[in-house]
Every structure is written in C-alpha cells, then in structure tokens.
Structure 1
Amino acid sequence: MPLSKFVKAAIVAGCLFAAAALTACVLAGTYPAFDIVSNGLPLLAAGLLVLVLASLVLRNSMLIVTSAALLAVTLAVLIPRLSGVAPQAPDGSARLLRVATFNMWGKGDLHLRKVEKFLASTDPDAVVLEEIRWKHGDFLRYLKTLYPYQAGSHGLVILSKHPILKSGRLDRENQPYWRSLIVHWALLDVNGTEVKLVGAHMARPFYPAQQKSDIDTLTAFVRSQTGPIIVAGDLNMTPWTQKLHKFTAETGMRRFNTLVPTWPARWKDLPLLPLLPIDHVFVSPHLAKIDVRIGPRLESDHLPVVADIALVK
C-alpha cells in the first residue's frame, strides 16, 4: 500500500474513533459510564490536531474539513469544562493554610520514609491522606509529633497542626466499613478562624454508578455548608469530566490544580509518566489561591498536591 493511502486510512480511522469518543463525552450526563472517556479529552484534541496537519499534508479537502470539524467540536466540549479555577489571591496575602493531599497506595518502609521526608520539607498545616490502612497505625502515631490533631484512622485521615473542633464522615450504604467511606471532614480552628477541611475519595471511573453517587453525595454535603470550606483528595476524575464540571457549577467551589497530571505515577515497581490530574484541592468563595504545586514521587501511584490558601477579606 502506498504511504499516502496508508496515511489516509489512518486519518479516516482516527476520525471515526474521535467521533465515537465525542459522542460518549456528550452523552456522559445521561449515561455516567461514558464519562470515563471524558478524561481523555485533551489527548483527543491533540490527536485530532495531528490528523488535521496530516490531512493538510495530503491536501485532501474532505479529510481536512472532517478532522478540523471534529477538533472544533472537541474544543467546544473541553474548554467550558476548564472553568472553575480558583481566583489568585492579591500579592502579599497572608497564608491561612497550607494543605496537602496524597493517596497512600504504596508499600514498604521506603514509601513511608519518603512521605515523612515530604511532610517535613513542605510543612503543610493540614494533610488529607487517602487509602490509609491498618498497617499505617504506627506511622500515624509517629506523625502525632508533627500533627497532634487527627481525625480518622482508616481510609481517609485528616492530620492537622490546628485544633480539630468537630469531625464526621459520610459513608456509602450497603458497603463494609472498610470500603464505605466517601468523605471525612474536620472543622479546624485556624488561629480563631473556623475552616472546614473535607477529605474526599471518590470511586474509580470503572464503577460509574458508584462514582456518580459519590460525587452527588459530596455535592449535597458541600452545598449544605456555610463558611470557609476546603475539599481535598483523590476524586478519581479530571476537571473536564461531566461529573466534576457539574460539581464546580453546582457548589461554587473553585479548583487549584487543572492541568498538571498526578496519576499514574507508578504501577507495582514500575515508574510511569503521569497523564491525568485526578487529585484535587477545591475552595469556597471565602478563600483564594496563593500557590499550588505537585509534589515528588513517594512510591505511590499518585503524586501529592500542596496548596497555599488565603482568606478573602
């Protein structure tokens, strides 16, 4: 087969794939299972750009129009879903809190030593840890020297240097205790300002009905709150999924990390290139962003997120 015919066939196949993926993204609001495809929208846009350039090289007007139209539709779906970014705090704003969130899915003493070093070097005021297991009991007790206030001991755990006035949890129904936790929250007294820190861990997209139920539960809880509130954790979805876009629209919460990927950082003993930003920090309109950064590899499949947060006066 001549090279030009092979490239043309590849472009046609790519356009058909893109059309099917876009259809799934558009229908994700009605069929939650399709929302897993939405996580790949930026990659789809990049792929379509390549198809447009290849079509231009071939000077095939039909392929140029088709690929360009699909790219335009992809961007029309993607760009509105990028809304909901947290406002930048004015220069010189005092830091109210530094919050870190990290999924502890890892193993071995090296993993725990790296987490300890990371917390000591970044010095967050409060930490949300996901996938804490019974094996982490000694680790949590050791961290009490840095974080004397702790809420939870399994699943989702909140560590704080500031007093915890109240805490609570939201669970899935009809699930065993060790698999039921969706949200663990703590009301912090931050030098006289009460801030509710909400740790969240949503179901994976391979369980779309459960993930939708989880994000709906989180949305309802956040909407019921008043005062400054921070949501941090492994939400298992990118900002441009229909579910997370709906969360920001319905709650007014604003996102710190949009484009920097945090997963997958590792699979078993193999380091990987992170592709998707699924670990997040959100804040209510009472708060603003000073800074956000992604932490180093800590022998987990996720990278940590560290957010510096200011109080809006």
Structure 2
Amino acid sequence: MARLLFFLALIPILLLLGSTPGSLHPVADSLAVFRFHIAWFALAGAVVLLVQGWRRSGLAVGALSLAAIGAIWWSYFPQTPNDDLPYSLYQKNLSFRLGKADDIIAHIKGSNADFVTLQEVTRRNTEILSGLSSTYAAQSLCKFRSVGGVAVASKYPRTDADILCIEELGLVGMNVQTPDGPVWLLSLHLSWPYPYSQAAHLDAILPTLENLKGPVVLGGDFNMVPWSYTMTRVETAIRAKRVGATNGTFLLEDLITIPIDHVLAPTNCVGEVSTLDLLGSDHHGVLARFTLEAC
C-alpha cells in the first residue's frame, strides 16, 4: 500500500513537470493549460509523501508545487502603471453562434478604444463591422474556416502598406498611422492545442510575424495560456509582450475559466487589462491599455 501511495502521489508532479518543456513537444503546452490545477494536486501528493515518511521527496514536490502555484497566482495581480496609457485595444472573440450585434457595437464604441480585434466574424455577426465603420473607418476582414473570420478596425487611418490576410491561418493585419508612427495591427485566431493542430498552425504563422517591420500590436484568441511556450514564441516573433495581468476569459466545459484571449504590444513597461462582459459570446472581451514606447 505504501508503494502504491508513493506512485499515486508522484503522478501529479510528473504531469506538472511535463507541462513545462513546450519546446520539445506540444503536449506540454496542453498540460500547461491546467498547470495551476495540476500543481494543487501535486501539493496534495506532497502531503501524502510527508505523512508516509518520505520527507525529502515530499519537501521537493511541495516546493515545486508551491513555486508553480505562486508564479501563476502572482500573474493575476495587476501592476499599477506609473505613466499615462495613450492607446487602447478592444479584443473580442464574437462566437460564430452570436446573433444580435447591437450590444457589442455599442459596447465597443463606448469603450473609446483606438483599435479593435475580432475573431469568429460570420455572416450572422458581420454587421458589427459596418456598425463600427463611422468610428473605425479603417477595417479589414479575413475569412477563416467555418467558425468565422478575423478582423481588425482602427480609429487611425491605414498607411500605404498592403493588407495582410492569410485565410487558412486565421491572421489579418493592416498598418495604421498613429501619432507615434506606423504600427501593425493584427488579429489572430489559433487552433486548439495538442492533439489538435495548434503547434503546426503556429509554425506556419511565425515566418510572417517575424518578417513584419516596425511595432506590432496584436489581439487574439490564442486558445492557450500566458505561461505557455506558444505565447513565448508569438511574443518573440513580433518583439512584444502580453499587456497587463492574467484574466480568465473562457469557461472550459462549464468547469474552469482559462485565460486564452490576449493583447500583445511592443512594450514591457506599463499596461493594464480589463475583462469585459460576454455580451452573447462564449468569450469575455478584453480591453487593454498600453504605450507604444520601447523600454
């Protein structure tokens, strides 16, 4: 019985360790989605090991579990920006099931955001873009699979740069002229992680992201958590960081809320995010405020 308890206690710590090497295999990022929850089970396993007399193993497992819990927990606490935040972006996965669009149109306009990034734009909700056109004249929509396209909209005018639209990859972008110079505004919708095609999807997108010249602001449904290798790869490719604290945006299987909708901007100095209402979607919106100044 003692050996059985030992091996049962080790299962969650093995899963916890397996959630870190995303560069080796995409299954690690799938485990990373549940790293916080796995860490609590691993902590319970540490208690079992200590009770059974395996002191060193119990302490080691407990320390690793607490480190994982603490790091993720800390990411949910916002930092207080020290400077004004001149730019804002409204990020929203509309949901392909969304019907009535009036509330979202009013909410986006009421936010006074400079930029808008949308996913799952379908024939049923495409009126949102036309409803926003009086405030956000610069727009671009790119089709993407049956769940709907990706779109960007901006108060600032487009530059002469070509629109970026890759239908098979759920990526759209346009270059806009801000008071601080030209900026690429992107909307991204990644596939679900392993055993689905997220890793291959990202492999196909990264060369395009890496070749963009100048600052990049990106809003999207990543279908992945901030502490993943996937997030690191996107941040590195566009030379940006996720804005603000971690926020739960999607209720998975009516069980747990996971943070998978993010805004990235070319700064790691200041920034904040607010989680918005569902407004008929299955994703909470995100309103991010940030600077465009490099640190």
Q: Establish whether TM, by shorter chain, passes 0.5.
A: yes
Q: How does 1:149-228 map to 2 (within 5 A)?
A: 149-152=138-141, 154=143, 155-165=149-159, 166-169=161-164, 171=166, 180-191=168-179, 193-208=181-196, 210-228=197-215
Q: Does 1:260 align with 2:254?
A: no
Q: Does 1:308 align with 2:289?
A: yes
- The alignment's TM-score, normalised by the length of structure 1, stands at 0.76
Unpaired segments of 5 or more residues in structure 2?
A: 144-148
Q: What one-letter code is carried by the residue in structure 2 that aligns with 1:280?
A: H
How far 1:297 sits from its partner (Å)? 1.9
DSSP 3-state at the match of 1:135 = coil
Task: Write out per-residue CA displacement over residues 248-277 of structure 1, whole angstroms, 9 at most, x where no aligned residue.
Answer: 356542111452211127x7xxxx465211
How far 1:306 sits from its partner (Å)? 0.9
Q: What one-letter code is carried by the residue in structure 2 that aligns with 1:183?
A: L
Q: Does 1:117 align with 2:106?
A: yes
The alignment covers a number of residue pairs equal to 287
1: distance between equivalents of 2:264 and 2:3?
Answer: 44
Unpaired segments of 5 or more residues in structure 1?
A: 172-176
Deviates more, 1:24-33 or 1:302-311: 24-33
2: distance between equivalents of 1:227 and 1:107?
Answer: 36
Q: What one-letter code is carried by the residue in structure 1 that aligns with 2:176?
A: L
DSSP 3-state at the match of 2:151 = strand
DSSP 3-state at the match of 1:227 = coil
- Alpha-carbon RMSD across the aligned residues, in angstroms, is 3.5
Counterpart selection for 2:57 from 66, 71, 76: 66
Q: What one-letter code is carried by the residue in structure 2 that aligns with 1:104?
A: L
Identical aligned residues as a percent:
20
Match of 1:107 in 2: 97
Give the conservation status (yes or no) of the 8 Å contact 2:216–2:238: no
How far 1:238 sits from its partner (Å)? 0.7
From the two aligned structures, give the one with the greater helix fraction. 1
Q: What one-letter code is carried by the residue in structure 2 that aligns with 1:279?
A: D
How far 1:281 sits from its partner (Å)? 1.0
Task: Write out per-residue CA displacement over residues 23-50 of structure 1, whole angstroms, 9 at most, x where no aligned residue.
Answer: 5324542222342111111112223234
- The alignment's TM-score, normalised by the length of structure 2, stands at 0.80
